[in-house]
Amino acid sequence: MPSHTLLLVDDDAAIADALSELLVDEGYTVVTAANGAEALRYLRANAAPSLILLDLMMPVMDGYAFREVQREDPALSHIPVFILSAGHLGDRVRSLGVAGVFKKPLLLDALLAAIQEHCAPRA
């Protein structure tokens, strides 16, 4: 079974490292970016990941600005996004049109189940 690549965009290095390690242990390939601008550079230079795990509150380019650019770019708009945020998950987050929203601190079993379901082969 080929490995799925996940792009994890989070400015908190401790969270990114711990989550990356967990996801690698689950069999995923994980690429990290510390902000939206770094994530866009990665996406424009590499094959599309299976899923983007996106924090909202980051310096340089936050998750809201990243998602706006991603949704407007035909080469990137098809990549599904899961929001991972400690902030308020209100109407602004719902308007982002994402595949899933997860509140920090993360319930890892729920996140892993959603990632696995999303990355499962389509029948």
Count CB neighbours of 54 within 10 A: 26
Model confidence over 55-107: pLDDT tens digits? 998 999 999 999 999 999 999 999 999 999 887 777 777 788 899 999 988 88
Band (pLDDT 50/70/90 cuts) for residue 1 is: very low
Q: Which amino acid is at 17?
A: D
Whole-model pTM: value is 0.92
Instruction: Show the domains of the chain with their CATH numbers.
Output: 5-119 (3.40.50.2300)
pLDDT, average across residues 9-28: 94
Closest to 69 measured CA to CA, from 54, 87, 50? 54
What span, in angstroms and rounded, lies between the C-alpha atoms of 85 and 57? 8
User: Do 69 and 36 meet the contact criterion of CB atoms below 8 Å apart?
Assistant: yes
